[in-house]
Amino acid sequence: MSGSKNWPEGLVKIDFREQTAEERYGIPENFLEVEVRNPQIQGTGRSQFVDYEIVCRTNIPAFKLKTSVVRRRYSDFEWFREALERETTKVNIPALPGKVFTNRFSDEVIETRRAGLERFLQM
């Protein structure tokens, strides 16, 4: 057998090939995208808070809906993170963006928090 290698029984040689541009940059076979957007200030006076629209898109067959949209506030994210920590002892759960005590309704603070919440959900 000139030029060939005898492989032990049960082992298979894998022929590697270059990926095509479509494979490299195309839409993956299965995907789950999460976006946090459209923050809105709710309530009045001392009971004001900001909630965020969370959009999930997927083509994973296990999900009934391909797109889901809900609104949640920061305290809902805190509850979710605590629930994940209780149930998932072997995985490090990422931190949420920190609490804000001054200027919490400024555009800059709201956008910084929105981006942090999105990073949290995408981990």
Range of the domain at 58: 25-122
Residue 19 lies in a domain: no
Residue 73 lies in a domain: yes
Q: Average pLDDT, stretch 86-111?
A: 89
Query: Residue 72 sits in a domain of what CATH number?
Result: 3.30.1520.10
Residue 5 lies in a domain: no
Residue 14 lies in a domain: no
What would the pLDDT profile of 62-92 be if each residue is shown by its tens digit? 999 999 999 999 999 999 999 999 988 788 8
Residue 37 lies in a domain: yes
What would the pLDDT profile of 24-63 be if each residue is shown by its tens digit? 777 668 889 999 999 999 999 989 999 999 999 999 989 9
Closest CA relative to residue 116, chosen from 59, 50, 31, 58: 50
Number of domains the chain contains:
1
- HSE, side-chain direction, 13 A CA sphere, residue 70: 8
Distance CA(32)–CA(65), nearest Å, equals 12
Residue 92 lies in a domain: yes
pTM, two decimals, is 0.73
String of b and e for 45-63 (b: at least 16 CB within 10 Å)? eeeeebbbebebebeeeee
